[in-house]
Amino acid sequence: MPADRLEVRKTYKLYIGGAFPRSESGRSYVVTTEGGKFLANAAQASRKDARDAVVAARRAFLSWSTITAYNRGQILYRVAELMEGRRPQFVSEVADAEGLGSAAAQEVVSASIDRWVWYAGWTDKIAQVLGGANPVAGPYFDFSVPEPTGVVAVVAPQDSSLLGLVSVVAPVMATGCTAVVVASETRPVPAVTLSEVLATSDVPGGVVNVLTGRVAELAPVLAAHMDVNAIDVTGVALADVAELQQAGADNVKRVFWPAVLDWASDPGLERLKAFLEIKTVWHPMGV
């Protein structure tokens, strides 16, 4: 490399509707490593950015929720493949964000990739496990069918910048929902890189929208938004959960607040169930 060459420095942006816009407010904020060293400037999303992300997620919902479950699984698996190809970058960013050594960061990245594969395998099995045929008194078939709830706002974990992020985003996608994600406020860089992976994968634009910025500013907007069907408050401080629950009550929004936050453990089906609506279908029985 020539000695006089200037490094091409990266400008961290939002991810909305398959594009990478700056915040409409023009704001950014400083991101540091776990040790306090300057790492980057990240876009500070505004309330309008959050509303724009909801519009993009709603627009993408119809097509994403109606493709076959098998195809959704293939798309999630493709995300895992692309993350594998960018492993060194993810390892470096997780190490910086969380103050981990190389070996520990490698384990986090491996677990994150494996989590995509795990949820990819569940996409075409959810209906069989959570749905079923119900016995009724009459000449009818009665089926319980799980269907995606719609647009889900996700406040990602604040401490687990990649594994926690994947653990809250992948199940939303696997169920056929679309997501507006508020990334870790202090550790957003792995989320930005994951956005780049999603943009270069087979995931349609708008299925996942990633906002970086202040949780206290963005979470209430999403909780009160009338076109958001559910909100995952995993990354919200305990003292603020009740306020978001109250804001979500205006449109009977489902508020998901998990009891266990051990990202390294088996994820189970809790998050898949959280964003599905069980619909009952009656059909006349043939003679």
- Using only C-alpha atoms, what is the Rg of the chain? 20
Residue with tokens 């202090």: 186
What would be the CATH architecture of the domain defined by 39-284? Answer: 3-Layer(aba) Sandwich (3.40)
Over the stretch 226-280, which tens digit does the pLDDT of each residue have?
A: 999 999 999 999 999 999 999 999 889 999 988 767 888 888 899 999 999 988 8
Residue 33 main-chain phi, psi, to 5 deg: -75, 175
Model confidence band, residue 4 (pLDDT cutoffs 50, 70, 90): confident
Residue 113 identity (one-letter amino acid): I
Report which DSSP code applies to 121: H
* Stated pTM of the model: 0.92
The answer to whether residue 141 scores a pLDDT higher than 90 is no
Distance separating the N- and C-terminal Cα atoms of the chain: 78
Over the stretch 102-127, which tens digit does the pLDDT of each residue have?
A: 999 999 999 999 999 999 999 999 98
Q: Which residues pair with 232 in a beta bridge?
A: 154, 256
The answer to whether residue 287 scores a pLDDT higher than 60 is no
Q: Which residues pair with 210 in a beta bridge?
A: 15, 181
Mean pLDDT of 12-37: 95
Structure tokens, 169 = 């985003």
Over the stretch 142-186, which tens digit does the pLDDT of each residue have?
A: 888 899 999 999 999 999 999 999 999 999 999 999 999 999 999
Helices (H) and strands (E) in the chain, counts: 10, 10
Model confidence band, residue 2 (pLDDT cutoffs 50, 70, 90): low
Domain ranges of the chain: 39-284
Model confidence band, residue 137 (pLDDT cutoffs 50, 70, 90): confident
Cα diameter, the chain: 83
Mean pLDDT of 33-52: 94
The answer to whether residue 8 scores a pLDDT higher than 80 is no
pLDDT given at position 260: 67
